[in-house]
Amino acid sequence: MQPIRGVRDILPNEIILWQYIYDLANEVFTLSNYQEIRTPILENTELFKRSIGNYTDIVNKEMYNFIDQGNRDITLRPEGTSSIVRAFISNKLYLQQRIHKLWYLGPMFRYERPQKGRQRQFHQLGIECIGSQNPIADVEVIRLAIQLLKSLKLNHYILEINSIGNFQERSQYKSKLKDYLNKYKNDLDKDSQNRLNNNTLRILDSKNIKTQEILKKAPKLTHFLQIESIEHFNEICNHLDYIDIQYTINDKLVRGLDYYNYTAFEIKTKESNNQNTICGGGRYDQLIQQLGGPNTPSVGWAIGIERLILLVKDILQINNNNIIIYIAIQDIQISYKVWDIVKIIEKYKINFEIDLSINHLNKQLKKANQLCAKICFILGKKEIINNYITVKWLETRIQQEISINHLPKYLQYLKTHFKT
């Protein structure tokens, strides 16, 4: 049996990096009072149709939908924001306080062509600042993304930002852009031709060279922005300048989800390939009201964990082997005595492993070395009879005999020595 195409197992030797990213995110976000939230992977299909947009690639091509035994139309969530908004509304979080700062990490599902760093089951880490229309909120979420990347020692990136205005401004622009592109319809790439009527703005993001040449003389979205949109964007830029976060204004950046307004941004690695976006987000002031909640402005972003791991796994030097004590048992007849030792070790919270093979001592020591354990506790008949443990330091080969009565004091020394 093999896993289905587009999904993969995350093995124990990989989990340590996943857990490291989770712990680091929790530390960074908690400092700014962002709290973790976990939502179901199953949602009503209508949620994503109403939030992401009927004409987006996600809804039209990529969602995993099925009818359950209760004849309900169900979807495996393709992104995190819609589920967070649904949870905000259904749990009436708006009655508790005005602003909610939330973060999440979990699996998402899209039927895409699997490639390096992109699977059909993938994982997103994201934050949502719900309840503030202040440009400072936009700056805070961008700053936290940058801070997380820096904490992961990922320093070669570009922040691109744009103002996509409100829905009215964007609608006017979309009409003008469509009129312009219709004159070149036959020269556009196939995807752009398909998007011309229903998802016109996504053409701006086309990677096709000929389409990009056509777009050079196309109307600019910035020419359709009114004073409120311009001031909001300028305030964000002023704050980013003040806190010394470098950015590039990309007037073709629109993002692929219908719910965005005002701010859109992406963080890209400085790599010469098409899949170099590691973080994307923006403001979505109308989405909560659109889904039946109160008028609640919000802003957030998401990072693809698989792609992030590809970038940081060689940068971060994380030790996979954290076993301090390997317990070798030489006599099956007295093996029950090991539990007395284990009980004391657990009290001091020092990582250990019991050898379950009851092989010859040399084989057990070889296994301890393979696991990069620091020391080996040897329990044989003479040790049990005389109430001590033979301790072998695997790197120096120094050997000691420690009375079991003195074991707590010795473990305290080990804990300090290995800084566990």
Asked whether the beta carbons of 258 and 89 are under 8 A apart, the reply is no
- pLDDT at residue 82 in the model: 95
Q: Does residue 207 lie in a domain region? A: no
Last residue of a domain, one of 270, 285, 312: 312
Same domain for 110 and 131: yes
Same domain for 345 and 298: no
Alpha carbon distance 100, 34 (integer Å): 8
- Written as six digits, the tokens of 106 are 């979990």
Alpha carbon distance 207, 191 (integer Å): 10
Q: Does residue 203 lie in a domain region? A: no
Alpha carbon distance 25, 308 (integer Å): 13
- pLDDT at residue 369 in the model: 94
Q: Which parts are annotated binding residues for L-histidine? A: 79-81, 110, 124, 128, 255, 259-260
Phi, psi of 101 (to 5 degrees): -115, 115
Same domain for 354 and 307: no
- Host domain of residue 81: 12-165+225-312
pLDDT in tens, 301-357: 999 999 999 999 888 877 666 899 999 998 888 788 899 999 999 999 999 999 998
Last residue of a domain, one of 245, 280, 312: 312
Q: Does residue 145 lie in a domain region? A: yes
* Mean pLDDT value across the chain: 91
Q: Can you give the C-alpha Rg of the chain in angstroms?
A: 28
Q: Which residue bears the tokens 């857990």?
A: 19
Asked whether the beta carbons of 259 and 52 are under 8 A apart, the reply is yes
Q: Which residues of 209-244 are buried (b: 16+ CB within 10 A; e: fewer)?
A: eebeebbeeebebbebbeeebeebbeebbebbeeee
- Written as six digits, the tokens of 294 are 């109160």
Last residue of a domain, one of 312, 344, 371: 312
Same domain for 84 and 31: yes
Asked whether the beta carbons of 245 and 141 are under 8 A apart, the reply is no
Please say if the pLDDT value at position 119 is more than 60.
yes
Q: Does residue 187 lie in a domain region? A: no
Please say if the pLDDT value at position 204 is more than 70.
yes
With CA atoms as reference, report the closest residue to 19 among 316, 345, 419, 277.
316
The residues, ordered by sequence, that sit 6+ positions from 224 with a Cβ below 8 Å of its Cβ are 165, 169, 170, 172, 173, 176
Same domain for 335 and 308: no
Mean pLDDT of 14-37: 96
Alpha carbon distance 176, 172 (integer Å): 7
List strand residue ranges (DSSP E) for 205-276, in order. Answer: 248-249, 261-269
Question: Per the structure, how many domains does the chain have?
Answer: 2
361 burial (CB, 10 Å; 0-12 / 13-18 / 19+) is middle
Q: Does residue 66 lie in a domain region? A: yes
Same domain for 151 and 61: yes
Same domain for 409 and 272: no
Domain with 113 in it: what CATH number?
3.30.930.10
Q: Which parts are annotated binding residues? A: 79-81, 110, 124, 128, 255, 259-260
pLDDT in tens, 220-230: 888 899 999 99
Same domain for 27 and 150: yes
The residues, ordered by sequence, that sit 6+ positions from 305 with a Cβ below 8 Å of its Cβ are 18, 21, 105, 122, 123, 124, 125
Same domain for 294 and 383: no
Same domain for 246 and 293: yes
Same domain for 237 and 305: yes
Same domain for 365 and 285: no
Mean pLDDT of 136-152: 97
Residue 189 pLDDT class (50, 70, 90 cuts): confident
CA distances to 28, 334, 354, 372, 392 from 339, in Å: 39, 11, 10, 23, 19
For residue 392, the one-letter residue type is K
Q: 298 by DSSP, 3-state: which?
A: strand
- pLDDT at residue 170 in the model: 84
Domain with 395 in it: what CATH number?
3.40.50.800
